[in-house]
Amino acid sequence: MRIVSGIQPTGNLHLGNYLGAIKQWVAMQDAMGPDDTCLFFLADLHALSQPVVAAELHANTVEMAATLLACGIDPARSILFNQARVPAHTELNWLLSGTARMGWLNRMTQWKDKAGKSGETQSVALFTYPVLQAADVLLYKATHVPVGHDQKQHLELARDIATKFNGDFGVDLFPLPEPLISKAAPRIMSLRDGSVKMSKSDPSDASRINLIDSDDVIAGKLRKAKSDADVLPETVAGLEGRAEALNLVTIYAALAGVKPDAVLAEHAGKGFGAFKPALADLAIATLAPVRDRLTALLGDRPAVAAALAHGAAKATALAAPTLRAAQEAVGL
């Protein structure tokens, strides 16, 4: 298997990012066999599809890399890099831009959603970035790409581009990447409102646990998290209509690496007065070492930059024969 996955570099990662995305990456890395490779990249080029502040983009890229390292991505086992330092991404992007059709991109629902009525004033990059995404994975002949539901259409597009490129130029260059839909990835909701997801863009800091939060802040946010006055039931079926309660049980389960029903088997009959301190203890036990490593890495940015440079060199070497073959295929 060759797994390729990217994440936009943003600052201030939270528990939702950790449990819903980064922890899944670490699990993939840890499940790798000797013939498998995981490539994880910071999509700093994709960030240019929206207005950016240069200093923030750079800081966010380093911060995100530090966070991934702190969470357990191991640069000795996985290839961790930022897209901008591997120019083959943009080179292959251009070759594939000759293959992708306007109509295919016009049909992307993310483009339609984001562009809305103001498509004329959006960046060209916002329209074409699914082609860059195709280049991101085809460059490494990815066999599997982890995708959330909102990215499934873009992976389909990558497969369409690969098929047309192989067909148009009579080569068998790009394998068709398969989606890797993680059943384990939980969706973590806001601590203040069980109907919206935990997000860095939520104006209320109390709605989320940031990976940089101190033990006291974590405990305080969980103590004040919205819940209800009922006791915990025997199974998750009993949490229907109790979104906040379900969320706290989901968080506990994800942190413990067990199913929500297993959490309930242990805590059924307890009210939140008793459950929340247990959840806080577990959250602190899991997140404190991550935070401490993150703090250390943020104090040693050259070490983070060195890890990224090491990853970029490995990615460049892996990409070179495929890029060369793609150039030859089109006559360059």
Instruction: Please tell me whether residue 187 binds ligand ADP under the rule CB under 6 A.
Output: yes
Q: Which two tokens stand for residue 46?
A: 């994709």
Where does this chain touch ligand ADP (CB under 6 A) — which range of 58-66, 131-139, 195-203, 217-225? 195-203
Q: Which is nearer to ligand ADP, 100 or 290 (CB)?
A: 290
The residue within the footprint of ligand ADP, chosen from 122, 199, 316, 322 (CB under 6 A), is 199
Q: Any known ligand binding at 17?
A: yes
**Smallest separation (angstroms) from ligand ADP to the CB of 204:** 13
Give CA angle at 290 (44, 208), nearest 5°. Answer: 75
The number of residues making up the chain comes to 332
Binding string, 144-173, against ligand ADP, x = CB under 6 A? ----x-------------------------
Which member of 197, 259, 270, 314 is catalytic? 197
The residue within the footprint of ligand ADP, chosen from 58, 114, 164, 200 (CB under 6 A), is 200
Task: Clarify whether 226 is annotated catalytic.
Answer: no
Residue 222 · residue 214 · CB < 8 Å: no
Task: Clarify whether 114 is annotated catalytic.
Answer: yes
Separation between Cα atoms, residue 223 and residue 69, nearest integer Å: 29
Where does this chain touch ligand ADP (CB under 6 A) — which range of 8-16, 38-46, 102-110, 237-245? 8-16
Residue 198 · residue 14 · CB < 8 Å: yes
**280 sits in which H/E element:** helix 272-298
275-to-24, 104, 260, 280, 327 alpha-carbon distances in Å: 26, 50, 13, 9, 59
- Kindly identify the residues of this chain, within the stretch 225-264, that bind ligand ADP according to CB under 6 A: none
Secondary structure of 9-45 in HEC code, one letter for each residue: CCCCCEHHHHHHHHHHHHHHHHHCCCCCEEEEEECCC
Where does this chain touch ligand ADP (CB under 6 A) — which range of 82-90, 172-180, 192-200, 266-274? 192-200
Beta-carbon count within 10 A of 272 CB:
21
Positions in the binding site for ligand ADP (CB under 6 A): 7-8, 10, 16-17, 20-21, 148, 187-188, 197-201
**Which residues participate in the annotated binding site?**
8-10, 16-17, 136, 148-150, 188, 197-201
Which of the residues are catalytic? 114, 197, 200
